[in-house]
């Protein structure tokens, strides 16, 4: 999570971005994959990532 400008809210807020891929039919639905995107302030700080159990 990081404080960034949110166009939806129209102001700076804490937010995180996740992308999900799902498959749906008339008979059912399932989640196929997901990914959480981390800001550069996180990916550039390996100690912080390790503490939060973010894999390399």
Domain locations in the chain as residue ranges: 2-51
Nearest alpha carbon to residue 14 among 24, 22, 25, 6:
6
Nearest alpha carbon to residue 17 among 25, 28, 26, 5:
5
pLDDT category of residue 1 using cuts at 50, 70 and 90: low
pTM: 0.51
More confident residue, 24 or 54: 24
Tell me what pLDDT residue 25 has.
Answer: 97
Instruction: Flag whether pLDDT at 44 surpasses 80.
Output: yes
Tell me what pLDDT residue 20 has.
Answer: 96
| Two structure tokens written together for 51 | 């503490």
Q: Report the pLDDT averaged over residues 20-36.
A: 95
């Amino acid at each position: 999570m990081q404080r960034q400008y949110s166009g939806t809210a129209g102001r700076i807020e804490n937010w995180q971005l996740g992308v999900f891929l799902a498959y749906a039919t008339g008979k059912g639905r399932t989640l196929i994959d997901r990914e959480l995107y981390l800001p550069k302030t996180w990916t550039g700080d390996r100690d912080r990532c390790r503490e939060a159990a973010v894999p390399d």
